[in-house]
Structure 1
Amino acid sequence: MNKQTQITKLPEEAYEATIQAYARDGQHIPGDDASNPWVPFGENASIKHFCFDVRTNSVANILWVKGGGRIGTHKHRGVVSAITLEGSWGYYEYDWTARPGDFVYELPGAAHTLYSDDPNGMKALFWINGPIEFFDDQGRFDFTADVFWFIDHYVNYCREQGVEPDPKMFV
């Protein structure tokens, strides 16, 4: 005998009441340097953090690599999306160059070395899902950057600079 489960449909007013009770508002995160500083990342790069989602191990930030700079070789364990805002950048392992307005996505398992030889450097907005494993110049594992690493990176720098971390960044 085939039994079919009946799905009870909520009246529209009950549905709206549930939304009002449990939904969360989005947030506005300022991009100005006073309240949201550029946090140094190595010798010639900085990160402006925007969102830390511990539920999904994901972060949103802008990476700024000054001209002639690079970010060490790293491997992604999740999907990464990026939109180039300024300058140009690429990966030594690929034959393309990202320019303003270009969209890049990276898939789990991808390993590459980001560089910018643009004299003005580059800025790109990244949405990073999952951890990133970094390697030294000899190809040996160095460290893992996950949502908690990025939180620590932001919060510790803010404290050192006397800037109050923005609680709206934490989902």
Structure 2
Amino acid sequence: MATQMKAPPSTKKAIVEVPFNYSSLVKRHSPGGRYVDAQTDADSPWVPFGETAAIKHLAFDVRRNLFSNILWVKGPGTIGTHFHRGTISMVVLEGSVRYLEYDWVATPGGLILEVPGEAHTLVTEHPDGVKLFGWMEGPIEFYDENAVLIETTDVWWMMNHYETYCKEQGIPINPKLYL
């Protein structure tokens, strides 16, 4: 019979100094934990992504070619066919979305997992579109209707997307977004 695991009790509302042999190294080299406000534009603005979509950039990790953002397709529409060379994890925040290549529709709270080596065509038919929170790793290649490569996006592309927009709009670059 398996033992039922229980959460350890919490008896004290205070910072507890946990012993760790390398805490001084962590203090010197870790960027530390941080909070990024995704509800307002205080930490990151909505940056246009084509005519009907926008991206709110949340994190850039150049060591792993990893980036996090919220993609907002503002009404019924499509994000063209794209090929993943890394893993993608997304959660639907608002609206709904599907891929032409699958028979499911993702709704708020739903988790979408994508693996390297697959191509998808993202579609939302929801009147309010869709907002997707995601962590993306590696390049994403975008293709036209003839399977001709149009653009490759990765952490560097996303950083440039964010920084170029901020500079054009006179918005300070937020160092909290860089891991």
Q: Tell me if TM exceeds 0.5.
A: yes
1:152 aligns with: 160
Q: CA deviation at 1:168?
A: 1.1
Q: CA deviation at 1:68?
A: 1.4
Pairing 1:82–2:90 present: yes
Q: CA deviation at 1:67?
A: 1.6
1:55 aligns with: 63
Pairing 1:166–2:166 present: no
Moved more, 144-153 or 24-33: 24-33
1:41 aligns with: 49
Contact preservation (8 Å) 2:124, 2:130: yes
Unaligned segments of structure 1, at least 5 residues: 1-11
Pairing 1:142–2:142 present: no
State the percentage of identical aligned residues: 49
1:71 aligns with: 79
Count of aligned pairs: 160
Distance 1:54 1:18, change over 3 A: closer
Provide the C-alpha distance between the structure 1 equivalents of 2:146 and 2:20, rounded to a whole number of angstroms.
62
2:172 partner letter: E
2:37 aligns with: 30
1:97 partner letter: V
1:108 aligns with: 116
Provide the C-alpha distance between the structure 1 equivalents of 2:168 and 2:20, rounded to a whole number of angstroms.
49
Contact preservation (8 Å) 1:35, 1:163: no
Contact preservation (8 Å) 2:36, 2:43: no
Distance 1:13 1:137, change over 3 A: closer
SS at match of 1:71: strand
Q: CA deviation at 1:19?
A: 3.8
Q: CA deviation at 1:26?
A: 1.0
Distance 1:66 1:21, change over 3 A: closer
Unaligned segments of structure 2, at least 5 residues: 1-18
Distance 1:21 1:118, change over 3 A: same
